[in-house]
Amino acid sequence: MLFAEVVAASAAVAATRSRTAKSAAIAQLLRASGPGEVEPVAAWLAGEPRQGRLGLGWRTLTKSAHAAAAEPQLSVGAVDAALTELAGTQGAGSVARRDAVLAGLLGAATAEEQRFLIRLLTGELRQGALEGVLLDAVAAAAEVPAPAVRRAAMLAGSVPATAATALTGGAAALAAETLRVGRPVRPMLASPGSSLDAALADLGTGVTVEYKLDGARIQVHRDGDTVRVWTRTLREVTDGVPELVERVRALPCRTAVLDGETLALDDDGRPRAFQDTMSRFGSDGPGSDEDAAVLLSPFLFDVLHLDGRDLLDEPLAVRLDALAGLLAADEHAPLRMPGVRSPTPDEATAVLEAALDAGHEGVVVKALDAPYAAGRRGRAWQKVKPVHTLDLVVVGAEWGYGRRTGSLSNIHLAARDPGGGPPVMVGKTFKGMTDELLAWQTATFPQHAAGEEPWGLTLRPELVVEVAVDGAQRSTRYPGGVALRFARVLRYRPDKTAAEADTVEAVRALLPGG
């Protein structure tokens, strides 16, 4: 198959809002793919290389993209082979070898293929092929039930690998996928809940209410004395977290698959800044002696396998009983995530208040009768945490990609300097924008332009936007030393001027312990 066919399908997926049309376009491409092509094609349509992140920046890629080929000539296999070579190139002389491979790959690509590759390798390929759409397309292409595809993807930990399994082996091969100790499964996710009362009304009294930590999700597998740890994205970090390995190795079991969170605590038992926790999860473990000195505490909230028994399909109540029995003999600091099972409304409120008082984000409300539905944001788990809003100044906007091509999308957000200086940039966001809002931004922003850049426009500090954020974190990237976490647009505030925007001090007040 020509690589150009993948690029064309990606453009078709990006051009439509119809989930059915997206799925149909992907399914058609997967059917036409050869046995060795399905996995890379599925990975690319999901927006990332099969080999994972390759550490290539925009500047490196554009430097290698010289004259484009006049006609499509690259095959899917050739592109995948080049990416595999890039991923495996290390050691002395690796920079020159990587440059040569990149130059060869991009030099053989058409201009459209070059743009696709650059966006793919920089993580900027936003084409609307969300995971659910891709899984539906795999089911349609292989003519197998969609639930079978979803379960196999959960157990295999990889949608592209599951696509290859489905297209080559059908329903029988999918059914053969099982939970294996030592191979991570994709984690179950929680949906946002509007409030604690709403979550309790939705799920009823048969729930557990647990702390929601501002930490890192971990999945821990134990097989005898061998303990391995993965992050939420299924990246293995075992070598970088020896204290977590030691705690799980001390538990009274032979095999286990455990789900939980970990974070760094200060001497008073309160959570340290999110970056302090994440400093322990660099690509090669702790990045410095200071990072290594940050100790992580594990908080486990689920068990998927215990001593030869798979628990995925058991209700949460059964899994919690198994977890409680496993952790009962632990002599160290509690490993169990704090919470209350089958609480009254007053008890649930007390859990939320205690979590917030302890410096955590909020709570997660979980249905006790729900199985472990990995990789899906169903209603069985709902996270409830206070939402912070800020009125900030828009000081720039970037041209969008994919379906947002031609629209001014990613906006640069700045807080007011209380000393009267220029607004202080504290982050960017493209989240929360409707098509109508994108059209308004594209029409309105040029009227406020201070300059034009290759990436978009710089804007005079005249427009105020209200955003919701999950908090803030320290940052060396921005001049104010602080950055927003998960900002999304709520609305523009024509009733406010830049002089009435929130200050950088208000943003800093959202820092943990601020």
pLDDT one-digit tens code per residue, 86-96: 888 777 877 78
Q: 3-state SS of the chain: helix, strand, coil percent to 5?
A: 40, 25, 35
Question: Are 154 and 218 in the same domain?
Answer: no
> Of 379, 405, 432, which residue sits at a domain end?
379
Of 315, 349, 379, which closes a domain? 379
The share of the chain scoring above pLDDT 90, in percent, equals 59
Write out the two tokens for 394: 């828009």
Exactly one of 212, 366, 383, 385 is catalytic; which is it?
A: 212
| 197 within domain boundaries | no
pLDDT band at 127 (very low <50, low <70, confident <90, very high): low
Closest CA relative to residue 329, chosen from 252, 259, 258, 243: 252
Number of domains the chain contains: 3
Q: Is residue 423 part of a domain?
A: yes
pLDDT of residue 443: 95
Of 25-34, 141-150, 368-377, the one with minimum mean pLDDT is 368-377
Q: What is the DSSP letter of 412?
A: E
Same domain, 411 and 372: no
* Residues 30, 167 within the same domain: yes
Residue 193 has pLDDT above 90, yes or no: no
Query: Do 331 and 417 have their domain in common?
Result: no
Residue 204: HSE in the Cβ half-sphere, 13 Å Cα cutoff: 6
pLDDT above 70 coverage of the chain, percent: 93
Q: Is residue 291 part of a domain?
A: yes
Residues 48 and 167 reside in one and the same domain: yes
Please tell me the total number of residues recorded for the chain in this structure: 514
- From the list 268, 279, 283, the residue with the least C-alpha distance to 235 is 283
Query: Using the 8-state DSSP alphabet, how is residue 500 labeled?
Result: G
From the list 217, 298, 214, 303, the residue with the least C-alpha distance to 255 is 303
Residue pLDDT, tens place only, 405-435: 899 999 999 999 887 778 999 999 999 999 8
342 vs 389, residue with greater confidence: 342
CATH number at residue 325: 3.30.470.30
Q: Note whether residue 346 is domain-resident.
A: no
Mean pLDDT of 24-29: 95
State which residues form the domain around 489.
388-508
Do 115 and 221 sit in the same domain of this protein?
no
* Secondary structure of 354-406 as H, E, C letters: HHHHCCCCEEEEEECCCCCCCCCCCCCEEEECCCEEEEEEEEEEEECCHHHCC
CA–centroid distance for 57 within its chain: 19
Residue 513 pLDDT more than 70? no
By CB atoms closer than 10 A (0-12, 13-18, 19+), residue 297 is: buried
Q: What pairing do the DSSP bridges indicate for beta strands 424-429 and 449-453?
A: unpaired
Give the per-residue pLDDT at 514: 58
C-alpha dihedral (346, 352, 355, 361), degrees to nearest 10: 180
Whole-number Å distance between alpha carbons of 363 and 354? 10
Domain membership flag for residue 513: no
Look up residue 470 and give its two tokens.
């999950």
CA distances, 467 to each of 387, 413, 490 (Å)? 10, 9, 5
Residue 59 has pLDDT above 70, yes or no: no
Decide if 59 is inside a domain. yes
Looking at residue 374, what is its pLDDT?
74
Please tell me whether residues 290 and 392 are part of one structural domain: no
Rg of the chain over Cα atoms, rounded to whole angstroms, equals 24
Domain boundary among 328, 348, 379: 379
| Contact of 361 with 214, CB cutoff 8 Å | yes
User: Each residue of 196-223: pLDDT tens digit?
Assistant: 999 999 999 899 999 999 888 999 999 9
CB 506 within 8 A of CB 415: yes
Domain at 415, CATH number: 2.40.50.140
Query: 416 lies in a domain?
Result: yes
For residue 85, give both structure tokens.
Answer: 């070579």
Q: What's the pLDDT at 43?
A: 92
| pLDDT of 60 strictly over 80 | no
Cβ-contact 102, 142 below 8 angstroms: no
Under 8 Å between Cβ of 510 and 214: no
Cα–Cα separations (whole angstroms), residue 129 to 134, 186, 317, 427, 456: 6, 18, 35, 26, 25
Mean pLDDT of the chain: 89
User: How do residues 326-353 score in pLDDT, each as one tens digit?
Assistant: 998 766 656 899 999 999 999 999 999 9
Q: Do strands 381-384 and 191-192 pair parallel, antiparallel, or not at all (unpaired)?
A: parallel
**Residue 344: DSSP 8-state:** -
Please say if the pLDDT value at position 5 is more than 80: yes
Asked if 168 and 221 sit in the same domain, the reply is: no
Q: Identify whether 157 is part of a domain.
A: yes
Residue 428 annotated among the catalytic residues of the structure: no
Residue pLDDT, tens place only, 66-90:
788 889 999 999 999 999 988 887 7
CB 229 within 8 A of CB 236: yes
pLDDT at 58: 66
User: Dihedrals φ, ψ of 54, to 5°?
Assistant: -105, 0
The pLDDT value recorded for residue 250 is: 92
Determine the Cα–Cα distance for residues 416 and 493; give it in Å rounded to an integer. 15
First to last CA, the chain: 55
Tell me the average pLDDT across 292-297: 80
Count CB neighbours of 360 within 10 A: 21
Does 9 have pLDDT greater than 80?
A: yes
Where residue 158 sits, what CATH number does that domain have? Answer: 1.10.3260.10
Residue 235 near residue 216 (C-beta atoms within 8 A): no
Position 284 scores a pLDDT of: 45
Helix (H) or strand (E) holding 493: none
479-512 per-position pLDDT tens digit: 889 999 889 999 998 878 888 899 999 999 888 7
- pLDDT for 181 equals 96
Alpha-carbon distance 297 to 476, whole Å? 26
pLDDT band for 283, please (50, 70, 90 cuts).
very low
State the CB neighbour count (10 A cutoff) for residue 192. 11
Cβ proximity of 298 and 262 under 8 Å: yes
Instruction: Tell me: do 53 and 73 sit in the same domain.
Output: yes
Q: How confident is the model at residue 133 (pLDDT cuts 50, 70, 90)?
A: confident
Please check whether residues 31 and 131 belong to one and the same domain: yes
Residues 304, 232, single domain; the answer is: yes
Say yes or no: 375 and 227 in one domain: yes
- Bridge partners (DSSP) listed for residue 240: none
